[in-house]
Structure 1
Amino acid sequence: MSSPTTVTVRYWAAAKEAAGLAEEQVEAGTLADALAEARSRHGDRPRFEQVLGLCSVLIDGDPVGGRDPATVRLAEGARIELLPPFAGG
């Protein structure tokens, strides 16, 4: 288990709307911990879980892809970007 560090979670487009804010800081050791904390904080917002499930995730600009969030360790000050699919072309 990783020790928690302070990281920033940034929400974009529909994720920002669903969370009701653009970014926040959470204490988390892994990406799974950070996502669980975000779910806990925004569980009262009906669309949040749905939008979160569609998001691509970047950590410090690098895509997480299909990696298991529980295995993605976070460094102090990491920036997690949650990007939902964008409409248009």
Structure 2
Amino acid sequence: MRIRYFAGAAEAAGVPEESFEPDFDVTVAELVEQLGADRERLAKVLAVSTLLIDGRPVHERSEYIGPESQVDVLPPFAGG
């Protein structure tokens, strides 16, 4: 699974993207928990971010993600 971080999420993760190799489908909640397990700052960003699975917005964190999916992490953006 390919995880891509944007803006503040990339800063919190310390990388613009990374791979996550589950042996089976995981829920969005499980993925978020595992990605933020040892990175407190990233965990906080993930809690308020919009996630896209293969370009489609996630509406429920109980949704399953396949091991070949791409997940985009979009933190809240400020603008004006």
Task: Sort the TM-score into its range (normalised by shorter chain).
Answer: 0.7 to 0.9
> Partner residue of 2:3?
9
Match of 2:34 among 10, 32, 37: 37
What's the CA shift string for 1:35-70, capped at 9, x where partnerless?
Answer: 121012424xxx2222112101110000012x1x23
Query: TM-score by structure 2 length?
Result: 0.81
Unaligned runs of 5+ in 1: 1-6
Runs of 4 or more off by more than 2 Å in structure 1? Answer: none
Q: How far off its partner does 1:20 sit?
A: 0.3
Identity among equivalent positions (%) equals 36
Unaligned runs of 5+ in 2: none
Distance 1:74 1:85 in 2: 22
> Partner residue of 1:4?
none
User: What is the RMSD of the two structures over their aligned residues, measured on CA atoms?
Assistant: 1.6
